[in-house]
Amino acid sequence: MPVAEMLRLLWGTVVYRPYVWAFFACFLAFAVLQLGLRRTIAFALPTWAIAFAAEYSSTRNGFPFGHYTYFDATRTRELWISNVPFWDSLSFVFLSYFSFALAAAVRSRGALGEAPWPGLRAPSTPLLGGLQMMLLDVVIDPVTLQGDRWFLGRIYAYPGDGFWFGVTAANFAGWFAVGAASQWVFQRCLDRLPGCRGPWRAVPRGFAWAVFAAYAGVLAFMLAVTVAIGDVRLAFASAAVSAAILVPVARALRPAHPRAAEAGA
């Protein structure tokens, strides 16, 4: 593909998917502040590659998301790589980071003033982060399946009806796997890449709540779309799932003792 044509299609992705780039810009601001530029790149590139490989594979053999098909009606307007729209695999980068950073904050409770947070390297963090990423998809996927009812457009379909508003169990399992794998790979990058071994920048204690707000913002955006298209059953279900995710995490982020909060301020 000529460079000029690729740039035209990439610009089309920005024009037709501004909400994706808004969340991606949020990821860049948060990640560069917390991780630094080199570690941000070390997170973004492998995560995108894992997500693209997972989508490329799933649309051909069903692993790991189960079988589904993309509709390429926008191929002449925005960037696609093979049969996968670029913006879709790019979304996994900020969704995985928000999930990972939030899981790391939970695992670092009481040590959020340290640089880096201990939870960023904790072995259990990718498992919690993968779970939180999967739970995001419980809210995201049912409404994206109805993209023809809002500005997303009809972009993909499963061959049969899934158990959760049309979404299959395999898809949720795949989201967990991609989230956990991308975060695990990043932890290995922290250990092995020379560019990731430099000093860490301390972030304010309130940064954990900013990450929480970004994660909740994704849920709120999708819930708002669900309400706008008038799917009442899905809206109530998504609101319940969102509350079930956010309330325990908010409780986990609260300092155990008021004096601890004052000391870390």
User: Residue 250: is its pLDDT beyond 50?
Assistant: yes
Per-residue pLDDT band at 176 (split at 50, 70, 90): very high
| Average pLDDT over all residues of the chain | 94
Tell me the whole-structure pTM to 2 decimals.
Answer: 0.94
Question: Which residues touch 202 (CB under 8 Å, ≥6 apart)?
Answer: 113, 114, 115
User: Residue 229: is its pLDDT beyond 50?
Assistant: yes
For residue range 151-174, list pLDDT tens digits in order: 999 999 998 889 999 999 999 999
pLDDT of residue 256: 63
Residue 11 near residue 3, CB atoms below 8 Å: no
Q: Residue 156 — φ and ψ, nearest 5°?
A: -160, 170
Domain that holds residue 77: 3-264
Higher-pLDDT residue of 161 and 54 is 54
What average pLDDT does this structure show over 12-38?
96
User: Residue 260: is its pLDDT beyond 50?
Assistant: no
What average pLDDT does this structure show over 130-147?
97
Question: Which residues touch 17 (CB under 8 Å, ≥6 apart)?
Answer: 78, 87
Number of domains in the chain: 1
Mean pLDDT is lowest, of 42-56, 115-129, 150-164, for 150-164
Residue 193 near residue 135, CB atoms below 8 Å: no
pLDDT of residue 150: 94
Cα distance between residue 64 and residue 81, in whole Å: 19
Is cis: bond before 64, omega within 30 of 0? yes
For 12, 55, 72, 85, the CA distances from 77, given in Å and listed in that order, are 6, 20, 10, 11
Residue 113 near residue 202, CB atoms below 8 Å: yes
pLDDT of residue 1: 77
Q: Residue 104 — φ and ψ, nearest 5°?
A: -65, -35
Residue 164 near residue 138, CB atoms below 8 Å: yes
Residue with tokens 């004096």: 259
Cα distance between residue 215 and residue 192, in whole Å: 29
User: Residue 258: is its pLDDT beyond 90?
Assistant: no
